[in-house]
Amino acid sequence: MQDNATATADRPSAAPRHLLVTGGCGFIGSNFVRLVVLEHPDTRVTVLDKLTYAGNPYNLAGLPTDRVELVVGDICDQQVVDRLVERSDAVVNFAAESHNDNAIADPQPCMRTNVQGTFCLLEACRRHDVRFHHISTDEVFGDLALDDPARFTEASPYCPLSPYASSKASADMLVRAWVRTYGVRATISNCSNNYGPYQHVEKFIPRAVTSVLAGVRPKLYGDGRNVRDWIHVDDHCRAIWVILTHGRLGETYLVGADGERSNIEVLHTILRLMGRDEDAFDWVRDRPGHDRRYALDAGKLRRELGWKPKHTDFAEGLSQTIAWYREHEAWWRLAKVATEATYAKRGQ
């Protein structure tokens, strides 16, 4: 978005007084709401969340009700969205169908929420001239070969290769078009794989951890050599706040913490930290079209906005995450049963 005629070097440095967070009952959204409430006392938050299988109001438990309001609703519902955007001074859009395996099995919900939902939010922000920050993914750039020295940057061409990635790329394109055509005051961040507390048990790290805790062998897709670029969710949330409050309007920022690791390496680390043999897992069939490697260069975010990750010791971050799942069995137990039944039907 750098050559955008309507984007200016305008920096919205004031913290929003009333923030609308969509998808705030999910993994990253709830971590973000907690960070805002604890560290930014002048900001009130309204969460708009449909409470799909991935959304859990318990994720906001304990936060002060005079600072955080939950509205159960759909980002595709233009009336609800307009009403909430009108009374906000910024929107951060986390709401999405976020899981690749689900989008492969049935792409419809993913297209609806990720594309149509972003469109509804953009229209409301255009009508009410409200600042918009869109949460996106490194998957929009496609994948890299294992031996490719390259990493994604903001200048990398879009090349989404999966249904989920193409829905997120479509949403990013809408944001860019609304910036250029209507002058919507928006930014985009494209982040790599997050880990940490409150992540749904369908995802790789919490699935493996809760399997070990439940006495079941974790599952590794394909040949296990696929590489993901891991970042702690707290580092991602801090990056979002700094982009929201100091990022240049119309710009894209990549968020990553130089955390490239193969899946088998991650699984070995989890098993070792949990006192199991490194080979105490099962190989299962590969994900169709499985992206080989993601890796991103967050140099622009570091240079322009001074962000840097705090959680640089991956084994330490994993240990804390394992401890969180050990202490929160009531949070994951029911979802685990439903999730594993779905995986079993898919042979994964």
Question: Could you say which of ligand NAD, ligand DAU, none residue 339 binds, taking C-beta under 5 to 8 angstroms by partner kind?
Answer: none
Q: Which of 164, 198, 253, 294 is catalytic?
A: 164
- Could you write out the DSSP letters of every residue in 104-119? HH--HHHHIIIIIIHH
Contact stretch for ligand DAU (CB under 6 A) within 70-78, 94-102, 113-121, 144-152? 94-102
Name the binder of 221 from ligand NAD, ligand DAU, none, CB < 5-8 A by kind: ligand DAU
Q: Where are the alpha helices (DSSP H) in the chain?
A: 27-39, 78-86, 100-105, 108-111, 118-128, 163-182, 204-213, 233-246, 263-273, 299-305, 314-327, 329-345
Residues 94, 150 contacting (CB under 8 angstroms): no
Please state, in angstroms and rounded to a whole number, the distance separating the CA atoms of residues 123 and 37. 27
Q: Least distance (Å) from ligand NAD to the CB of residue 48?
A: 6
Residues 31-70: x/- map of binding to ligand NAD (CB under 6 A)? -----------------xxxxx-xx---------------
Q: By C-alpha distance, which of 231, 253, 138, 235 is closest to 186?
A: 253
Exactly one of 185, 219, 238, 336 binds ligand DAU (CB under 6 A); that residue is 219
Instruction: Please report where in the chains the tokens 């706040």 appear, as a residue.
Output: 241
Task: State how far the Cα of 66 lies from the Cα of 41, in Å rounded to an integer.
Answer: 11
Examine residue 325 and tell whether it contacts ligand DAU (CB under 6 A): no
Reference 50, options 27, 69, 77, 85; nearest CA is 77
Partners of 232 in beta bridges:
195
Binding mask 129-158 for ligand NAD (x = CB under 6 A): ------x-x---------------------
Q: Which residues, 6+ apart, have CB-to-CB distance to 61 below 8 Å?
A: none
Q: Minimum distance between the CB of residue 49 and ligand NAD, rounded to whole angstroms? A: 5
Nearer Cβ to ligand NAD (54/122) = 54
User: What burial class does residue 3 get, using C-beta atoms within 10 Å of its C-beta: 0-12 exposed, 13-18 middle, 19+ buried?
Assistant: exposed
Q: Does 294 bind ligand DAU (CB under 6 A)?
A: yes
**Active site (annotated) includes residue 164:** yes
263 binds, among ligand NAD, ligand DAU, none (CB under 5 to 8 A by kind): ligand DAU
CB of 14 to ligand DAU, least distance (A): 29
**Which of the listed partners (ligand NAD, ligand DAU, none) does 26 bind, with a CB threshold of 5 to 8 Å by partner kind?**
ligand NAD
| Min dist. Cβ of residue 181 to ligand DAU (A) | 26
CB count within 10 Å of CB 41 equals: 10
Q: Does 190 participate in binding ligand DAU (rule CB under 6 A)?
A: no
Concerning whether 139 is annotated as a catalytic residue, the answer is yes
**Closest CA relative to residue 198, chosen from 62, 63, 338, 321:** 321
Rg (CA), the chain: 19
- Tell which residue, 116, 107, 110, has the closest CA to residue 77: 116
Q: Which of residues 236-265 bind ligand DAU (CB under 6 A)?
A: 263
Which of the residues 49, 89, 123, 138 is marked catalytic? 138
Among the listed residues 45, 75, 91, 322, the single contact to ligand NAD using CB under 6 A = 75
Q: Is 221 a residue that touches ligand DAU (CB under 6 A)?
A: yes
Joined together, the tokens standing for residue 105 give 């099995």
- Is residue 269 close enough to count as binding ligand DAU by CB under 6 A? no
Measured CA to CA in angstroms, residue 87 lies from 17, 42, 73, 171 at distances of: 11, 16, 16, 24
- Work out which of 50, 126, 134, 203 binds ligand DAU, going by CB under 6 A: 203
Work out whether 245 is an interface residue with ligand NAD (CB under 6 A): no
Interface residues with ligand NAD (CB under 6 A) are 22-23, 25-29, 48-52, 54-55, 74-76, 94-98, 113, 117, 135, 137, 168, 191, 193-194, 200
* Active-site residue list: 138-139, 164
